[in-house]
Protein backbone atom coordinates (compact mmCIF):
# COMPACT_ATOMS: atom_id res chain seq x y z
CA UNK A 1 0.00 0.00 0.00
CA UNK A 2 1.25 3.51 -0.79
CA UNK A 3 2.51 5.54 2.14
CA UNK A 4 -0.51 7.88 2.00
CA UNK A 5 -3.38 5.70 0.90
CA UNK A 6 -6.41 5.55 3.21
CA UNK A 7 -7.60 9.10 3.81
CA UNK A 8 -11.19 9.85 4.70
CA UNK A 9 -12.97 12.20 4.48
CA UNK A 10 -9.94 14.24 3.38
CA UNK A 11 -8.30 11.74 1.08
CA UNK A 12 -8.27 14.42 -1.61
CA UNK A 13 -8.02 18.19 -1.07
CA UNK A 14 -10.06 19.64 -3.91
CA UNK A 15 -12.08 22.66 -2.80
CA UNK A 16 -12.43 24.92 0.20
CA UNK A 17 -16.07 23.95 0.76
CA UNK A 18 -14.97 20.54 1.99
CA UNK A 19 -13.31 21.93 5.12
CA UNK A 20 -15.47 21.81 8.25
CA UNK A 21 -14.90 23.43 11.63
CA UNK A 22 -13.37 20.32 13.16
CA UNK A 23 -10.81 20.04 10.37
CA UNK A 24 -9.97 23.74 10.54
CA UNK A 25 -9.54 23.61 14.31
CA UNK A 26 -7.08 20.74 13.93
CA UNK A 27 -5.05 22.26 11.12
CA UNK A 28 -4.84 25.67 12.81
CA UNK A 29 -3.56 24.06 16.00
CA UNK A 30 -1.12 21.79 14.19
CA UNK A 31 0.20 24.67 12.09
CA UNK A 32 0.92 26.61 15.29
CA UNK A 33 2.75 23.62 16.78
CA UNK A 34 4.88 23.17 13.67
CA UNK A 35 5.59 26.87 13.27
CA UNK A 36 6.66 27.21 16.90
CA UNK A 37 8.62 23.93 16.81
CA UNK A 38 6.58 22.37 19.59
CA UNK A 39 6.60 18.96 17.89
CA UNK A 40 9.14 17.04 15.85
CA UNK A 41 7.75 16.27 12.39
CA UNK A 42 11.06 15.68 10.62
CA UNK A 43 10.37 12.03 9.84
CA UNK A 44 6.61 12.25 9.19
CA UNK A 45 6.85 11.51 5.47
CA UNK A 46 9.93 9.31 5.61
CA UNK A 47 9.85 6.83 2.73
CA UNK A 48 7.17 8.72 0.79
CA UNK A 49 7.40 10.31 -2.64
CA UNK A 50 5.18 13.20 -3.73
CA UNK A 51 4.61 14.14 -7.37
CA UNK A 52 4.36 17.85 -8.08
CA UNK A 53 2.59 18.24 -11.41
CA UNK A 54 2.45 21.92 -12.30
CA UNK A 55 0.92 22.95 -15.64
CA UNK A 56 1.07 26.62 -14.66
CA UNK A 57 3.87 28.83 -13.41
CA UNK A 58 4.28 28.97 -9.64
CA UNK A 59 6.78 30.26 -7.14
CA UNK A 60 5.26 30.32 -3.66
CA UNK A 61 2.96 27.31 -4.00
CA UNK A 62 5.53 25.03 -5.62
CA UNK A 63 8.49 26.00 -3.44
CA UNK A 64 6.52 25.91 -0.19
CA UNK A 65 5.19 22.44 -1.01
CA UNK A 66 8.67 21.22 -1.93
CA UNK A 67 10.12 22.67 1.26
CA UNK A 68 7.26 21.20 3.32
CA UNK A 69 7.87 17.72 1.92
CA UNK A 70 11.60 17.90 2.58
CA UNK A 71 11.14 19.23 6.11
CA UNK A 72 8.74 16.36 6.82
CA UNK A 73 11.38 13.86 5.71
CA UNK A 74 9.83 12.98 2.36
CA UNK A 75 11.04 13.32 -1.19
CA UNK A 76 9.42 14.43 -4.43
CA UNK A 77 9.50 14.21 -8.19
CA UNK A 78 8.24 17.11 -10.26
CA UNK A 79 7.79 18.78 -13.58
CA UNK A 80 7.91 22.54 -13.19
CA UNK A 81 6.07 23.43 -16.39
CA UNK A 82 4.15 20.34 -17.40
CA UNK A 83 2.19 22.26 -20.02
CA UNK A 84 5.34 22.64 -22.14
CA UNK A 85 7.75 20.01 -20.84
CA UNK A 86 5.71 16.86 -20.34
CA UNK A 87 3.77 14.47 -22.55
CA UNK A 88 1.01 17.09 -22.51
CA UNK A 89 2.78 18.83 -25.37
CA UNK A 90 2.44 15.59 -27.35
CA UNK A 91 -1.28 15.57 -26.76
CA UNK A 92 -1.56 13.29 -23.73
CA UNK A 93 -4.71 13.88 -21.71
CA UNK A 94 -4.57 14.83 -18.05
CA UNK A 95 -6.42 11.64 -17.14
CA UNK A 96 -3.75 9.46 -18.79
CA UNK A 97 -0.96 11.43 -17.14
CA UNK A 98 -2.59 10.99 -13.73
CA UNK A 99 -3.03 7.24 -14.25
CA UNK A 100 0.69 6.90 -14.99
CA UNK A 101 2.02 9.26 -12.33
CA UNK A 102 -0.09 7.71 -9.58
CA UNK A 103 2.04 4.57 -10.02
CA UNK A 104 5.22 6.57 -9.39
CA UNK A 105 4.32 8.42 -6.20
CA UNK A 106 2.30 8.34 -2.98
CA UNK A 107 0.33 11.56 -3.59
CA UNK A 108 -0.04 14.15 -6.34
CA UNK A 109 0.04 17.93 -5.95
CA UNK A 110 -1.60 19.32 -9.08
CA UNK A 111 -1.71 22.84 -10.50
CA UNK A 112 -3.58 23.15 -13.78
CA UNK A 113 -5.20 25.74 -16.04
CA UNK A 114 -8.52 23.89 -16.40
CA UNK A 115 -11.27 24.63 -13.88
CA UNK A 116 -12.20 20.97 -13.44
CA UNK A 117 -8.66 19.57 -13.51
CA UNK A 118 -8.51 18.40 -9.89
CA UNK A 119 -11.88 16.67 -10.18
CA UNK A 120 -10.68 14.90 -13.34
CA UNK A 121 -7.51 13.87 -11.52
CA UNK A 122 -9.44 12.39 -8.60
CA UNK A 123 -11.42 10.15 -10.97
CA UNK A 124 -8.27 8.63 -12.44
CA UNK A 125 -5.84 8.57 -9.50
CA UNK A 126 -5.33 5.69 -7.09
CA UNK A 127 -3.46 8.00 -4.70
CA UNK A 128 -4.48 11.26 -2.97
CA UNK A 129 -4.66 14.46 -5.02
CA UNK A 130 -4.07 17.94 -3.62
CA UNK A 131 -5.40 20.82 -5.69
CA UNK A 132 -2.66 23.47 -5.88
CA UNK A 133 -4.75 25.71 -8.14
CA UNK A 134 -7.36 24.76 -10.73
CA UNK A 135 -8.05 27.36 -13.41
CA UNK A 136 -10.12 30.22 -12.05
CA UNK A 137 -12.11 27.97 -9.71
CA UNK A 138 -10.28 26.89 -6.57
CA UNK A 139 -7.06 27.13 -4.57
CA UNK A 140 -7.95 25.40 -1.29
CA UNK A 141 -4.48 25.25 0.25
CA UNK A 142 -4.08 29.01 -0.25
CA UNK A 143 -7.37 29.45 1.56
CA UNK A 144 -6.05 27.44 4.50
CA UNK A 145 -3.10 29.83 4.59
CA UNK A 146 -5.42 32.83 4.46
CA UNK A 147 -7.63 31.41 7.19
CA UNK A 148 -4.63 30.73 9.43
CA UNK A 149 -3.35 34.28 8.87
CA UNK A 150 -6.77 35.78 9.68
CA UNK A 151 -7.15 33.61 12.77
CA UNK A 152 -3.71 34.65 14.00
CA UNK A 153 -4.79 38.28 13.82
CA UNK A 154 -8.31 38.08 15.28
CA UNK A 155 -8.55 34.77 17.12
CA UNK A 156 -11.80 34.04 15.30
CA UNK A 157 -13.30 33.31 11.87
CA UNK A 158 -16.72 34.77 12.68
CA UNK A 159 -18.14 38.31 12.81
CA UNK A 160 -15.70 39.59 10.20
CA UNK A 161 -16.11 42.28 7.56
CA UNK A 162 -14.03 41.34 4.53
CA UNK A 163 -13.32 43.53 1.51
CA UNK A 164 -11.97 41.77 -1.57
CA UNK A 165 -10.39 43.97 -4.24
CA UNK A 166 -9.38 43.05 -7.78
CA UNK A 167 -10.25 40.27 -10.19
CA UNK A 168 -13.14 38.46 -8.56
CA UNK A 169 -14.24 36.79 -11.79
CA UNK A 170 -11.01 34.87 -12.38
CA UNK A 171 -9.22 34.94 -9.02
CA UNK A 172 -9.37 31.43 -7.58
CA UNK A 173 -7.93 32.52 -4.24
CA UNK A 174 -10.91 34.85 -3.78
CA UNK A 175 -13.40 32.17 -4.80
CA UNK A 176 -12.02 29.65 -2.33
CA UNK A 177 -11.81 32.18 0.49
CA UNK A 178 -15.36 33.45 -0.02
CA UNK A 179 -16.81 29.94 -0.05
CA UNK A 180 -15.09 29.05 3.20
CA UNK A 181 -15.65 32.27 5.14
CA UNK A 182 -19.29 32.24 4.08
CA UNK A 183 -19.72 29.15 6.26
CA UNK A 184 -19.06 31.13 9.44
CA UNK A 185 -21.73 33.19 11.22
CA UNK A 186 -22.08 36.94 10.74
CA UNK A 187 -19.34 37.37 8.15
CA UNK A 188 -19.99 40.14 5.62
CA UNK A 189 -18.33 40.82 2.27
CA UNK A 190 -17.60 43.90 0.21
CA UNK A 191 -16.50 43.25 -3.40
CA UNK A 192 -14.57 45.91 -5.34
CA UNK A 193 -13.67 45.14 -8.93
CA UNK A 194 -13.63 46.46 -12.48
CA UNK A 195 -16.94 45.85 -14.23
CA UNK A 196 -15.57 42.95 -16.29
CA UNK A 197 -14.06 41.31 -13.20
CA UNK A 198 -17.11 41.22 -10.95
CA UNK A 199 -17.85 38.18 -8.81
CA UNK A 200 -19.51 35.52 -10.94
CA UNK A 201 -23.27 34.99 -10.65
CA UNK A 202 -22.89 31.51 -9.14
CA UNK A 203 -20.87 33.04 -6.29
CA UNK A 204 -23.30 35.86 -5.53
CA UNK A 205 -26.21 33.44 -5.80
CA UNK A 206 -24.49 31.14 -3.31
CA UNK A 207 -24.19 34.02 -0.84
CA UNK A 208 -27.82 35.03 -1.32
CA UNK A 209 -29.03 31.46 -0.87
CA UNK A 210 -27.10 31.23 2.39
CA UNK A 211 -28.21 34.66 3.67
CA UNK A 212 -24.68 36.05 3.65
CA UNK A 213 -24.57 39.82 3.34
CA UNK A 214 -22.45 41.38 0.60
CA UNK A 215 -22.13 44.59 -1.39
CA UNK A 216 -20.55 45.23 -4.79
CA UNK A 217 -18.65 48.34 -5.95
CA UNK A 218 -16.62 49.42 -8.96
CA UNK A 219 -15.20 52.46 -7.11
CA UNK A 220 -12.62 51.84 -4.40
CA UNK A 221 -13.11 55.33 -3.00
CA UNK A 222 -16.82 54.77 -2.52
CA UNK A 223 -16.25 51.34 -1.01
CA UNK A 224 -13.60 52.63 1.40
CA UNK A 225 -15.91 55.42 2.55
CA UNK A 226 -18.47 52.82 3.60
CA UNK A 227 -16.09 50.12 4.84
CA UNK A 228 -15.58 49.60 8.54
CA UNK A 229 -13.91 46.28 8.14
CA UNK A 230 -11.41 43.81 9.44
CA UNK A 231 -9.79 42.18 6.41
CA UNK A 232 -8.73 43.92 3.21
CA UNK A 233 -7.83 41.25 0.63
CA UNK A 234 -6.19 42.62 -2.55
CA UNK A 235 -5.59 40.57 -5.71
CA UNK A 236 -4.11 41.25 -9.12
CA UNK A 237 -6.06 41.29 -12.36
CA UNK A 238 -5.54 37.82 -13.82
CA UNK A 239 -4.07 38.64 -17.25
CA UNK A 240 -3.69 34.97 -18.18
CA UNK A 241 -7.41 34.30 -17.69
CA UNK A 242 -8.77 36.86 -20.15
CA UNK A 243 -10.04 35.79 -23.56
CA UNK A 244 -8.59 38.85 -25.30
CA UNK A 245 -5.99 41.56 -24.64
CA UNK A 246 -8.65 44.26 -24.95
CA UNK A 247 -10.69 42.76 -22.12
CA UNK A 248 -7.59 42.66 -19.93
CA UNK A 249 -6.78 46.30 -20.71
CA UNK A 250 -10.29 47.31 -19.62
CA UNK A 251 -9.49 46.03 -16.14
CA UNK A 252 -5.74 46.64 -15.82
CA UNK A 253 -4.80 49.30 -13.27
CA UNK A 254 -8.43 50.34 -12.79
CA UNK A 255 -8.38 49.74 -9.04
CA UNK A 256 -5.23 50.37 -7.02
CA UNK A 257 -4.95 50.37 -3.25
CA UNK A 258 -2.76 53.38 -2.51
CA UNK A 259 -0.93 54.76 0.48
CA UNK A 260 -3.59 57.40 1.06
CA UNK A 261 -6.22 54.69 1.52
CA UNK A 262 -4.49 53.54 4.70
CA UNK A 263 -6.00 56.40 6.70
CA UNK A 264 -9.46 55.01 5.99
CA UNK A 265 -8.67 51.63 7.55
CA UNK A 266 -9.21 51.06 11.24
CA UNK A 267 -6.18 50.35 13.36
CA UNK A 268 -7.08 46.69 13.96
CA UNK A 269 -7.62 45.85 10.26
CA UNK A 270 -5.21 43.68 8.27
CA UNK A 271 -4.13 43.92 4.62
CA UNK A 272 -3.68 40.67 2.73
CA UNK A 273 -2.61 39.64 -0.78
CA UNK A 274 -1.93 36.09 -2.02
CA UNK A 275 0.86 37.39 -4.32
CA UNK A 276 2.31 37.85 -6.87
CA UNK A 277 1.35 41.49 -7.20
CA UNK A 278 1.70 43.78 -10.19
CA UNK A 279 0.48 47.36 -9.70
CA UNK A 280 -2.70 46.86 -7.68
CA UNK A 281 -1.13 47.77 -4.34
CA UNK A 282 1.47 50.47 -3.64
CA UNK A 283 4.83 49.23 -2.41
CA UNK A 284 4.90 52.16 0.02
CA UNK A 285 2.27 50.29 2.01
CA UNK A 286 4.62 47.40 2.79
CA UNK A 287 5.92 48.92 6.01
CA UNK A 288 2.46 49.49 7.51
CA UNK A 289 2.01 47.25 10.59
CA UNK A 290 -1.34 46.08 9.25
CA UNK A 291 0.26 44.41 6.23
CA UNK A 292 0.14 40.60 6.33
CA UNK A 293 0.97 39.45 2.79
CA UNK A 294 4.59 38.50 3.45
CA UNK A 295 3.48 36.77 6.62
CA UNK A 296 0.94 34.91 4.47
CA UNK A 297 3.69 33.54 2.25
CA UNK A 298 5.71 32.48 5.29
CA UNK A 299 2.66 30.77 6.77
CA UNK A 300 2.30 28.84 3.51
CA UNK A 301 5.17 26.55 4.47
CA UNK A 302 3.79 25.67 7.89
CA UNK A 303 0.18 25.26 6.75
CA UNK A 304 1.22 22.90 3.96
CA UNK A 305 3.40 20.94 6.37
CA UNK A 306 0.38 20.58 8.64
CA UNK A 307 -1.83 19.54 5.73
CA UNK A 308 0.58 16.80 4.63
CA UNK A 309 1.03 15.57 8.18
CA UNK A 310 -2.72 15.35 8.73
CA UNK A 311 -3.06 13.33 5.53
CA UNK A 312 -0.37 10.93 6.64
CA UNK A 313 -1.72 10.63 10.19
CA UNK A 314 -5.20 9.83 8.91
CA UNK A 315 -3.74 6.95 6.90
CA UNK A 316 -2.44 5.32 10.10
CA UNK A 317 -5.82 5.28 11.86
Active site residues: 60-61, 90, 111, 139
Spatial contact of 293 and 272, defined as CB atoms under 8 Å apart: yes
Task: Give the sheet arrangement for strand 161-165, strand by strand.
Answer: 214-217, 188-192, 161-165, 231-234, 270-272
Q: What share of the chain is helix, strand, coil (3-state, %, to 5)?
A: 45, 15, 40
Residues 68, 303: Cα–Cα separation, whole Å: 9
What's the distance, CA 109 to chain centroid?
A: 13
Spatial contact of 228 and 188, defined as CB atoms under 8 Å apart: no
Q: What is the DSSP string of 210-226?
A: TT--EEEES-HHHHHHH
Helices (H), 17-171: 21-35, 60-71, 82-85, 94-101, 117-124, 140-154
What's the distance, CA 16 to chain centroid?
A: 9
Residues 5, 230: Cα–Cα separation, whole Å: 40
Residues 275, 295: Cα–Cα separation, whole Å: 11
Cα atoms in the 13 Å half-sphere on the side-chain side of 47: 6
Amino acid sequence: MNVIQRISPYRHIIESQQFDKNYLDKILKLTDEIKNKKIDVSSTLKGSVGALLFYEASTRTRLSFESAILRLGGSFIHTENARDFSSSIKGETLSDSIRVISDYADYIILRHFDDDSSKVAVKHSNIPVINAGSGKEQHPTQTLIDIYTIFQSFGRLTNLNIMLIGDLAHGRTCTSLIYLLAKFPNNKFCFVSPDNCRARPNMTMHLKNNNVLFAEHSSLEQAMAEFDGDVLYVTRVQKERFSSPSEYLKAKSQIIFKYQHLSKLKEQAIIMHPLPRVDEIDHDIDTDPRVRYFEQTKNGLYVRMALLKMMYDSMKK
